[in-house]
Chain A
């Protein structure tokens, strides 16, 4: 499906190296291994997935405040560029961030980065608030404690997401703007066809593997 996109994907396709944290650290131990303030190996800022997991597992308000300070101004920008006025956007930001707190248990770090997950919540809020429509969501594929994604899957996905941001930033301005317009809800369906064909093959394969593991875990139930 994404065959035509490969030439754009110039990154090394070797498997992602295991992170500094050894073995398969699970559950709460993993959070302690990654403090909120710690950056990832490079200088890309805090590990927001780890922050979300602290919110998920410990209902940690300090983590929520850190997450809010980073994402809430971006969610507001997203909503305003999607056609909301400032007051409407401000109200929706509160709903979106409160939903992040409330639904943190559904966050699966092997399938989505924090930014991705918050994007889906903001998008759904936009459809609800601005278009007054329900948005049908796929059947839920939640994971039980036994199927907790392992550290390597989680970091692999997060790293892939960083590569995707870099790929987006390095696109010619015209193509990048087209993609931004698509996600701000500013393109018609036929215009969207022109914005497709991005290097999403590797991230798709990663998510596909995570889904396979979930299915196996569900079959064992």
Chain B
């Protein structure tokens, strides 16, 4: 695994483990965790906390017949598939993302949004938005701030902004205070998964185009 320098925050890890985040945010976290064993260990440690909560909670009485009904269910089940080590199916898109883009990056229906930048909005629950961004090498994204949270995970190439340099596997967590202008690295076209929990605020002319770009 490559060295990842920009990780998830504790509140996002706990929210993912507790299961209270919007689907789009879960998607970007699951994608980052697929590439980052540090954050995977942190998520699983938080799951252990959830297990401790479950185990120490005051038990409820089950209805009569709950066990029998469950035994009937498992007896009717087919034998489970044996364990199997799968190799990653796509060099760029982690497995959880593949489920949202029809199994391959080639299947993505990109739409141009200007300056060579392309995007594809993924279908998730409406409480947050996930989009794939394709930014040609060396291109600057519009200067923008956010009303809410913006998470950006690099899948290919890299970008630079005031917060630092972000390469494959790195996740940038930008809150409402950050106004930034990400620029894609010159060496390779950049592909990112970006998630926002509120519409972006664009500066200047791009703001007029916002309703059409749906960004």
Contacts and interface: CB of A to CB of B under 8 A. Distances in A.
Interface of A: 1-2, 59, 61, 64-65, 68-69, 71-78, 80-81, 86, 89-90, 93-94, 97-98, 101-106, 111-113, 115-120, 122-124, 126-127, 131, 133-145, 160-161, 164-165, 168-169, 179-180, 182-185, 187-189, 192-193, 195-198, 200, 203-205, 207-208, 211-212, 215, 218, 221
A40 B26 CA distance: 36
B3 interface: no
Contacts of A89: 60
Given A117-B51, A187-B20, A192-B15, A73 B83 contact: no
Contact of B77 (A90, A98, A183, A215): A98
B208 interface: no
17 contacts: A73-B61, A74-B60, A77-B60, A94-B69, A97-B70, A98-B74, A126-B19, A133-B125, A136-B31, A138-B34, A139-B34, A139-B88, A140-B86, A140-B95, A143-B85, A179-B49, A192-B14
A116 B17 CA distance: 11
| Majority-rule SS of A interface residues | helix
A80 B83 CA distance: 33
Contacts of A195: 14
Contact of B57 (A74, A135, A136, A143): A74
B69 A1 contact: no
B57 A72 contact: no
Nearest to A147: B85
Contact of A1 (B10, B86, B125): B10
Contact of B20 (A78, A103, A140, A189): A189
Interface of B: 1, 7, 10-11, 14-15, 17-21, 23, 26-27, 29-31, 33-34, 37-38, 40-63, 66-67, 69-71, 73-74, 77, 79-88, 94-97, 99-100, 125
Contact of A136 (B49, B55, B99): B99
Contacts of B77: 98, 101-102
B54 A215 contact: no
Contacts of A208: 37-38, 41
Contacts of A139: 34, 88, 94-96
A197 B41 contact: no
Contacts, number: 234
Nearest to A69: B67
Contacts of B52: 115-116, 161, 164-165, 168
A198 B49 contact: yes
Most A CB within 10 A of own CB, among B43, B55, B69: B55
Contact of A142 (B20, B63, B70, B84): B84
A215 B1 contact: yes
Given A102-B80, A136-B26, A65 B67 contact: yes
Most A CB within 10 A of own CB, among B10, B82, B95: B10
Contact of B48 (A102, A105, A141, A161): A161
B83 A143 contact: yes
Given A72-B67, A73-B59, A196 B10 contact: yes
Nearest to B89: A139
A138 B41 contact: no
Contacts of A75: 54
A111 B67 CA distance: 28
